[in-house]
Structure 1
């Protein structure tokens, strides 16, 4: 994360607003952002080149979340503070419209919600995404977003409108169908079956939708039969691609992750996770290759392309003659 992001973009509005109904233990820090789009260093032209994050902190409370590291830069702790101290960029759509007015992103893709889920519970109260989606569609910007929330279905019509004028790919993050895994590691996110229903709803609305098979949690969600069942369910829901990602634990998340696993997991599982991530943030390369290859093979069985090929295919399907973004220039 560069120094222009987060609270370095603008001062917090004080005092924080009163919690909305149903948010008794969560504090919202409302912020008037000066910038919203962040360029990814070294991004290739026409690729995934920009990020956009209307929220920081996340009520999904996923114990492994890499974004916990960045919460210290905002003055909050990476444990319960990440789950309950949520920064809200209340003027997100206004700033985005100003930044896009001059064609800032060109034909590059914008990744919406790379730090924390833009459809976390706070979005139900602040409703930032409709304005963001309308702005992206108005400027015919290529974009992708990833979510674990069923709230995204509220905006199906807006995603469909955007997909008619630009390249759009919505990814649902789902690492296991096992509800025990969901409750232990992602307590505030939507249940697995609700995420599959979101994929199906997006596809029925004509919006390309895939699955970030993430994270695959070693020892808890990595049995071959379970992985096969997960890919099968994604294909049945209409996913256009799957992207495997094996769990990594960032330094800022490690202590919280292991503390929560000790509290909520069977002792033998906690001990295996603690041993696996004691001296490294990732599993051995051989393990990552094996699990990734297994998931790719199962996806290929269903005719699903890899994520990179899917992105290229989306661009090819929208040719110069068919793309309103190019035809109207």
Structure 2
């Protein structure tokens, strides 16, 4: 297949912000309890940014941007909401007892190390706060910018179990250029995993999204899992691409421009009118990935989290009666 017309590499880390409008806000809260989450597992989320300059065309967080009135298309990558007081609010909530004894997931909606972080530097304060309260956390990024805070992640890892995930769904940079136009190339993300592992920081890989007919050949999936293991990953977590109804027309319009016509047609036919691929397809691909991961000695993400419980605060003793 020919992809010669696709754009050149872009690392997604730049000092030029002329193409981005920042909306600075003061947040009233940061931590959100996940409905039905088990005690001691991944139970809380928070996002210091909304919108993301990586411009991934499939991103489900585009729905939330639409709810903010900023749109699901180019506004998602050019209109970035910045919670400038994120560390201070997080400190207040943790001091009040939130998230004790649970895992916290950072950047569920958008990447904490997107280009905006190069300007606002919210993460150092956030990481120091999490470490001070001995909070277990996980995050996922497509950006080598995370390595800037390597010492802070190492300090946090000494105080509580943590897991730093790099998001990578394919080793083929043509896939990145088609669907993640402003994110770092695969080789840079694998190097980040290697850098984290060398520093003694638990590093995993979110194999996401696996894009049907584009990045799902068994040999390609095997090579991806093997590369993650070689880089020092301690776990992998596969996720098959889903397409929300809100972004569907725009996503397929972008795919039509980026993909060879025959691959575009297969992608459209595969999804039909569904959000995701049929259950049988999802089970087959995820089972293949888990089997390859097991051959490399890598547990599933859920098993890794269960094997590394967060610190539990001491039980509050009753006051003596007088």
Q: TM-score, normalised by structure 2?
A: 0.91
The equivalent residue for 1:55 is 49
Query: Which of 237, 245, 257 is the aligned partner of 2:231?
Result: 237
1:74 and 2:68 are equivalent in the alignment? yes
Counterparts of residues 281-292 of structure 1 (less than 5 Å): 281-292=275-286
How far off its partner does 1:278 sit? 2.8
- CA contact 2:32–2:44 (8 Å) conserved in 1: yes
The equivalent residue for 2:163 is 169
The equivalent residue for 1:11 is none
The equivalent residue for 1:249 is 243
Deviation per residue, 1:268-308 (Å, 9 max, x gap): 11111112223101111111111111101110111111111
SS of the residue corresponding to residue 61 of structure 1 reads coil
1:127 and 2:121 are equivalent in the alignment? yes
1:210 and 2:184 are equivalent in the alignment? no
How far off its partner does 1:325 sit? 6.5
The equivalent residue for 2:289 is 295
Structure-2 separation of matches of 1:38 and 1:141: 15
Runs of 5+ consecutive residues of structure 2 not aligned to the other structure: 1-13, 318-322
- CA contact 1:165–1:325 (8 Å) conserved in 2: no
1:309 and 2:292 are equivalent in the alignment? no
Deviation per residue, 1:227-250 (Å, 9 max, x gap): 010001000000001111111111
- CA contact 1:166–1:325 (8 Å) conserved in 2: no
How far off its partner does 1:25 sit? 1.2
The alignment of Structure 1 onto Structure 2 pairs a total of residues equal to 303
SS of the residue corresponding to residue 75 of structure 1 reads coil
Q: Whose RCO is larger (CA < 8 A, sep 6+)?
A: 2
How far off its partner does 1:326 sit? 6.0
Structure-2 separation of matches of 1:121 and 1:281: 29
Deviation per residue, 1:106-152 (Å, 9 max, x gap): 10111000000000011011100000000000011111001111100
Structure-2 separation of matches of 1:124 and 1:239: 25
Structure-2 separation of matches of 1:40 and 1:119: 23
Structure-2 separation of matches of 1:211 and 1:325: 29
Runs of 5+ consecutive residues of structure 1 not aligned to the other structure: 1-19
SS of the residue corresponding to residue 308 of structure 2 reads helix
Query: Which of 68, 85, 88 is the aligned partner of 1:91?
Result: 85
The equivalent residue for 1:267 is 261
Deviation per residue, 1:180-232 (Å, 9 max, x gap): 00100011111101111111111111111111111100010001111010001
How far off its partner does 1:44 sit? 1.0
Structure-2 separation of matches of 1:278 and 1:25: 34
- CA contact 2:31–2:90 (8 Å) conserved in 1: yes
- CA contact 1:148–1:190 (8 Å) conserved in 2: yes
SS of the residue corresponding to residue 229 of structure 1 reads helix
Runs of 4+ deviating beyond 2 Å? 323-327
Query: Which of 192, 197, 204 is the aligned partner of 2:191?
Result: 197
Structure-1 separation of matches of 2:288 and 2:299: 14
Q: 1:153 to 1:288 in 2, by over 3 A?
A: same
- CA contact 1:213–1:243 (8 Å) conserved in 2: yes
Structure-1 separation of matches of 2:181 and 2:207: 17
